[in-house]
Amino acid sequence: MNKEQLEGERIRKKDPKFRPLPLYACNAMVDCRRVELLMHPLTQTFLEMKWRAYGKYIHLSFLIIYLVFLFLVTFFALGYLGHSIHMVPANYTTTSILYSSTTPCTPQFVYEPQEPSGCIYFSAVAILVFAILNILKEMVQLYHHKLKYLAEGINVVEWTMYLTSTCMVLPVIVGGEWKAQQFNSASLAVFTAWFTLLLYFQRFDRIGIYIVMFLEILNTLIKVLVVFSVLIIAFGLAFYILMYPGSHLSFSSVPMSVMHTFSMMLGEVDFLNIFVYPYFGESTKGDLLLFPVTTFALLLIFMILMPILLMNLLIGLAVGDIESVKKNAQLKRIAMQVP
């Protein structure tokens, strides 16, 4: 943008201090989704020079800091929380912290917290500081981007990671009582931390395109599953009504029935144990099939619609439009290098 264009933009925006974004031309290409211009050798050479000059050093610095955080989260969760747990009978008395399972058929378990060593305490403080600083950073981004920030699913993953990491280490720092939530938080913190590591590889040339394509397909999959979740709920409720009177554990409640229906959609029907043996009265668990005609008819409809039709639709969306996915992935990956 030359001097005349800059003055014109300042007049149009009524802002005498307006300054254009760095790499104005490249950002315009991204905004207009001009992949062919971004892939032009001149643009690629310019971005490569920018990456070699300072981009890779900044990104590698952030990556190294994050790897330290990832190591501390994993070390804390596995080394401190993962020990001194054992099952106890329901009438067991102890001075340690006793947790009750949320299911009636599972025994209680006891956790005997160890005195945190200096290494564990340092890890907890470092995790807490990193999480708080990044929460502040995310709040600033939310203030600037507003609705665009909320539309990015990756931000949800990062918020989950920072909040669960904080909940995981708080009892060590403030000396509060250990709760079952610490174990839930630790599992989510470890998962989201390792998943976020995958996102750091998007900037690298050779592997970045595959990670962005993976996220593109994941986004499509979530949209399709949200739409067709109506069918999953419909079959889950129908199977619950038919199978619950026969004492089937897989259909003992509505949430369990819906979850089992989802697993059946992936091919885990378990036809013999759930349908055939109860039909002939030979189930070792005492399950019965009280409404066989309706159940088998519903199962036939389910197998046609869900494992065959819906799964092939998902595969078709993921594979059939791979060129469009690759083009969008290229645009997103290059857009990360432009700012």
pLDDT, residue 268, reads 83
On the question of pLDDT at 54 being above 90, the answer is no
| Residue that finishes a domain, picked among 200, 231, 259 | 200
More confident residue, 42 or 163: 163
Residue 339 lies in a domain: no
Rounded CA separation 49/233 (Å):
53
Is 162 a domain residue? yes
**Tell me, what DSSP letter sits at residue 285?**
T
Residues 158 and 216 in one domain: no
Statement to judge: residues 8 and 104 lie in one domain: no
Average pLDDT of the segment spanning 319-336: 68
In this structure, the answer to whether residues 217 and 300 fall within a common structural domain is: yes
Does residue 49 sit within a domain? no
Alpha carbon distance 287, 246 (integer Å): 6
For residue 124, is it within any domain?
Answer: yes
In a domain, 103, yes or no: yes
Q: Are residues 88 and 195 part of one domain?
A: yes
CA dihedral (25, 26, 31, 34) positive or negative: positive
Whether 312 and 260 map to the same domain: the answer is: yes
The answer to whether residue 41 is domain-embedded is no
Report the range of poorest mean pLDDT among 11-20, 62-71, 161-170.
11-20
Output the pLDDT for position 295. 92
- Indicate whether 217 and 194 sit together in one domain: no
Same-domain status, 250 and 320:
yes
In terms of domains, do 125 and 221 share one?
no
| Structure-block tokens of residue 304 | 């046609």
Are residues 192 and 93 part of one domain? yes
Same structural domain for residues 149 and 235? Answer: no
Mean pLDDT of 182-201: 91
Q: Give the per-residue pLDDT at 189.
A: 94
Say which DSSP state 14 is in.
T
User: Per-residue pLDDT tens for 247-301?
Assistant: 788 888 999 999 999 999 888 888 888 888 888 888 777 788 889 999 999 999 9
Which residue type is seen at 185? S
Buried/exposed code over 180-189 (b: 16+ C-beta within 10 A; e: otherwise)? eebbebbebb
116 within domain boundaries: yes
Percent helix, strand, coil in the chain (nearest 5)? 75, 5, 20
| Chosen domain end from 169, 200, 231 | 200
Average pLDDT over residues 156-178: 85
- Count up the domains in the chain and report the number: 3
Write out the DSSP string of 98-131.
EE--SSTTSPEEEE-PPPPPHHHHHHHHHHHHHH
pTM of the entire predicted model: 0.76
In percent, how much of the chain has pLDDT > 90?
Answer: 27
How far is residue 244's CA from residue 288's CA, in Å, rounded to a whole number? 9
Q: Which of 179, 200, 221 is the last residue of a domain?
A: 200
pLDDT of 303 over the 80 cut: yes
pLDDT, tens digit (0-9, with 9 covering 90-100), for 210-219: 888 888 888 8
Inside any domain, residue 52: no
Considering the domain architecture, whether residues 221 and 159 belong to the same structural domain is answered as no
Domain boundaries, position 263: 212-329
Across the chain, mean pLDDT equals 80
